[in-house]
Each structure stands twice: as structure tokens, then as C-alpha cells.
Amino acid sequence: MPSRILSYGGRTVWTLITGFVIAAVLSVMLLTKTAELRYQRDVNRMVYNDNLGVLSEIKTKLGMTGDSLKTLMTETAAEAANKPYLVVSMADHMLWYKQGKEILFEAPVATGSGKELVGGSGQWRFETPRGRLTVKGKDENPAWVPPDWHYVEQAHKKGLGIIHLDPGESIPTGDGGVITTRNGEVVRRYGNGSAVSLGGGVEGKEIVVNGNIVVPPYGTTARRYVGVLGTRRLELGDGYGIHGTDHPESIGRSVSHGCVRMRNEDIERLYPMVGIGTPVYIY
């Protein structure tokens, strides 16, 4: 029977099979072309909007995550418009200030350690954020207001506990006195009624009471550290920034809690060049 079908209607059968194969091939080619066109459309949208997040998402979907941001820099709107921008390479521990393809300034930096810290009912990972950020503000001689993780970290280093001091509350010192707040300061009040201010915060010299590091309230001088962030800071939002340091030996390493550190002499040179709103690409 099959031979009879092929004998009498073979030409028709082979025509149908050939047509089916051609249609299948054309369908695959059309789908491939459609995907390419969509990719080009989304890349153009990313360029016009200066949105590296869009490109990253698209490339991930297409299995193209191997491209580095250094390569993608040629596709950004900042470069196309010949506007200055900052680039930070965490692998190279380098920062570049560029306009177009021209490097206006470069310097070594320190970036996030990637370490994790758990304690005090919290968990933190100290990573420098990747992607596109923006310079949101600028500070000269900035003060650092440490988050809770700083006190947890210090307590771990010294084998101490943690105790929070809330505004207006007191922590007994065990000798008849207390640690409390007064007029925006943390003070030690003695049994005779006299009180002494404990001053501003000093890294590594936090207030210790009965085997616990005291976490001062926000807004007090004890929770304000001067000099830790160096002489200048470019604010990137969410607590991150590009700033100087009181530990210049850390530059060129992955040791920070997420910020990008520079030597004070380098950030002082960069600071007047960079305006608020400048794009920052970190990869």
C-alpha cells in the first residue's frame, strides 16, 4: 500500500513534505530575526535612557552576561552626549573620571570586602553596589554617623555585648552612676549628681559599660565620627559614597563596608571636577 501511494501520488507527497520543511525553516528564521530586532530596540532604549539596568536584564535573558561594563561604556548616553562620568572597577580597584573616551582623572580605590556580619538582631553584607548610580550630594570634611553594624562589629572584635541607649533613658554603670543623654550628648552622671560629656565618637574607642558596647542614639555627638571619611565625600545615596579615608594603607584592596575609598589627596583633586548629577558606573 505505501509503495502504491508513493507510486501514484509520490509527487504530491514530496511536495507537501518539502513545503512543510521550508515553512518550518522560515518560521525559525522569523523568530530569530524578531528576537534580534527586539534586542536592538531595547539596547537603543537603554542608550537613550542611559539605563544600564535595562541592558543587564536583556543580556541576562539572552545569555550574554559575559560582557563587562567596560565594553558597554561605549553604548552609554553619557559618552554619546560627551558628558563627564565616573567609572569604578572593583576588580582593578581603580576609578576613572571620563568625558567621552578621554580620561580626565584616575586614581586607585578601595571597595567593599564582601564579608558578612551577623549579630545584634541584624545581618549585613559589605558589598559595593554594582550598576549605575548618581552623585547626589557633596560634602567637605564629612562626619560619619555609623549604622548599628559598626557597634556589632566592634563588639565582635573585642568579645563584648551590645546595649542600646535610647534618648532620655539611663544605663547603670555599677558604681552608683549612669550613662544617659543630655542636650544632644551622651554623658556619664555620677552618684553625687555631677555629669561629664563623653564627647564625639572615636573609632575603636566606643563607650563600654558592664561588658557591653553602648550604641548611642542618632543625633547625639557620640554617634558622630569626624575624620573617618577623610576630607571629601561624593554621596551616592542609600548610605554609599566615594570618599577619603583615615586608612590610606587600605587603598587598592577589597576592605571597605561598601563605599569607594580614595586617598585624601586624590578625592581632593577629584572633588571640584565632579558635579551633582554626574553618572557613576560601578562594575
| Residues classed as catalytic | 243, 259
Under a CB-based contact definition with an 8 Å cutoff, are residues 55 and 62 in contact? no
DSSP string, 124-193: EE--PPPEEEE--EEEESPEE---HHHHHHHHHHHT-EEEE--TT--EE-SSS-EEEEETTEEEEE-TTS
What does the alpha-carbon distance between residue 165 and residue 188 come to, in Å, rounded to a whole number? Answer: 12
What does the alpha-carbon distance between residue 168 and residue 36 come to, in Å, rounded to a whole number? Answer: 64
Under a CB-based contact definition with an 8 Å cutoff, are residues 82 and 99 in contact? yes
Looking at residue 75, its amino acid is: E
Map grid coordinates 541607649 to a residue.
165
Category of 250 on φ-ψ map: left (φ > 0), alpha (ψ -120 to 50) or beta: alpha
The three grid cell numbers given for residue 21, joined into one nine-digit string: 520543511
What does the alpha-carbon distance between residue 163 and residue 172 come to, in Å, rounded to a whole number? Answer: 11
Under a CB-based contact definition with an 8 Å cutoff, are residues 241 and 280 in contact? no
